[in-house]
Chains A and B, each alone.
Chain A
């Protein structure tokens, strides 16, 4: 188990922003995290967008939990954890970041047409300047290699975050939430992902 100092006391609000591109399953991640927080008896508010914003454009969801939560949106500068499901998209969530923020960034590029690709090195260096707690994780590659699909990269990242104590929720709560949220057809794959994230 890593860095305990990052783990906040359970009474405080915990703020997560997940950034990605449409179709990466951010809403499923939101549901898993919210259900896991409910299992632990926390108050929860989340925010998501539907509609045209899903069509491969940038997407961003907010998950907040704690003793009593009001706003569904994370306040600027107050994110405890920012997850980037795509390497560049994490930069759009920087408004929410501050010196306390842990960044978990999937090493996975969806090119933006007609634009110069930024290097992951440049991106991570900049994130480190903000909080010093930025990790680039090849989640898509790990899942592709071990499970034959990268579709569960997001689930991998949140399981990893819980294992590393970056999210103040028990990994078992995440596992139970997966069982509740993920349709039967994909459950086995997602549970395997949970186990895979445990080994790291």
Chain B
């Protein structure tokens, strides 16, 4: 049996943050899961994809994160205990349905898992701090620091959602989501069968039309105030005094994985300071923060990325302790993830202690090793063919999100712009209309289904003539080989050529790039067309299991 499904309360196991979230949701009795893969959140979906049948959980990989969020809202409106998970960029896409979902509130308890990726280990496009959304949408937000808290916070988030009838967001970062540690399993009662919800009509609750929508906003703000009161007392926010003296005038406020680095740094420097560990980023336990900073002279706020918490502390200090000296981003980087040595150095400076980072002097610097397409990957043939066909033609190459981002790295160098999911087509159309230059854009099949279709329709409707190469490898390869609507073995396989044709594309060829001559000839021909052209480069990823 899958380790995540074992009912052995008290058993100590090692789980990764994302797996701990799944276990926490199972222990909470989750009934419905919708997700779209994206590192560092992917394992949440992978786990449910693997176990949902045995666990009697309704599960889907939705077409994109916006749809996943809408599906989750529908499930919640129908009374089911619902989980939705995605990476940070997914939330950008899903923010449209998310904001009204916070207004309507949840009926079935609902938890939204978002994973940020400071330092962009697995993220193109931007280094995002999802906590900004908490303000934008009045979204209750919990921030676990370690894998054990991932499990605990998940269960608490479901309870909070049930009590306050509002979706609760749990925000992790790479070093939390992909962190492993031991934890104790709780009671798990498997669902006896797939849940059957009921949608009970209630327009007052589920229809966000004005003027009702403003009433909803008022109710939402009331809910948040009540949650804030609860968070003041909750041990999601706790003061860790260690062995520091009660007269200590220096303190630390930390959230997320930064708390672990603070603990490590204190150990390294051989001292203890009181730490307020903030687990509820929104709403903040303002009174708890104020009472913590009241007697202090100076404080260090340790958080990753933008100083949202630091700004709040500065605001709260105006009333509570206007002489408080506040440090944070003056000592810690705002760009890139924190690391234990950064926090140690910051803490040493904060305390006026001398600390020198150990540094090794060696003559040998190893050159960068770029990630490569797998041996046998069909994209080798796609890039090789495009390179041959377009040599000397001054063509612009548009990139998109997937393994084929490697087009931008050696030895390919076929990527002149790269932005978000589906954007190779939209940006390509804009460049074409603005310049008339020759342009080839690459988009994978999963990405095409995710966000490429509206942009393709736009290109046809607003009449420009890029060549769009859809790399159909039958799988969502980069995030760990999840299925998608066009994948082999899908219950109802949606054929990309049918979609492309239905969008009004006249110049369409489906070619296996193994047929290099045919592929190159098609590129040559299509680059001269006055209308948009599409080549579907069809060859499965070598990890696709034949069905």
Contact = CB atoms under 8 A, between A and B. Distances in A.
A193 B502 CA distance: 57
Interface string A22-43: 1000000011001100100001
Interface stretch (B339-347, B380-388, B420-428): B339-347
B178 A49 contact: yes
Contacts, number: 150
A91 interface: yes
Contact of A55 (B175, B363, B406): B406
Contact of A73 (B180, B340, B370): B340
B39 A50 contact: yes
B1 interface: no
B371 A53 contact: yes
B434 interface: no
B365 interface: yes
A108 to B, nearest CB: 14
Interface in B486-536: none
Contacts of B358: 76-78, 98
Given A44-B182, A45-B181, A92-B366, A71 B410 contact: no
A70 B267 CA distance: 10
Contact of A51 (B146, B261, B339, B478): B478
B409 to A, nearest CB: 9
A49 B174 contact: yes
A112 B263 contact: no
A195 interface: no
Contacts of B366: 88-89, 91-92, 112, 118
Given A47-B179, A49-B121, A72-B257, A55 B373 contact: yes
B394 interface: no
B180 A38 contact: no
B424 to A, nearest CB: 17
Interface in B259-285: 260-261, 263-264, 267-268
A56 B374 contact: yes
Contacts of B122: 49-53
B360 A98 contact: yes
Interface size for chain A: under 10, 10 to 19, 20 to 34, or 35 or more residues?
Answer: 35 or more
Interface in A89-117: 89, 91-92, 94-95, 97-98, 110, 112-115
B369 interface: yes
B480 interface: yes
Contact of A70 (B42, B263, B370, B371): B263
Contacts of A47: 175, 178-179
Contacts of B40: 50-51
A144 interface: no
A142 B122 CA distance: 34
Given A51-B121, A75-B268, A91 B362 contact: yes
A76 B406 CA distance: 30
B260 A115 contact: no
Nearest to A77: B358
A114 B364 contact: no
Which of A52, A71, A110, A123 has the largest number of chain B CB atoms within 10 A?
A71
A88 B260 CA distance: 31
Nearest to B263: A70
B180 A34 contact: yes
Contact of B367 (A21, A69, A77, A115): A115
Contacts of A112: 366-369
A47 B358 CA distance: 21
A146 interface: no
B291 interface: no
22 contacts: A30-B180, A35-B14, A38-B14, A44-B181, A46-B180, A46-B181, A48-B178, A49-B122, A50-B122, A52-B478, A55-B373, A57-B370, A71-B260, A71-B264, A72-B146, A73-B261, A91-B366, A95-B360, A98-B360, A110-B369, A113-B411, A126-B364
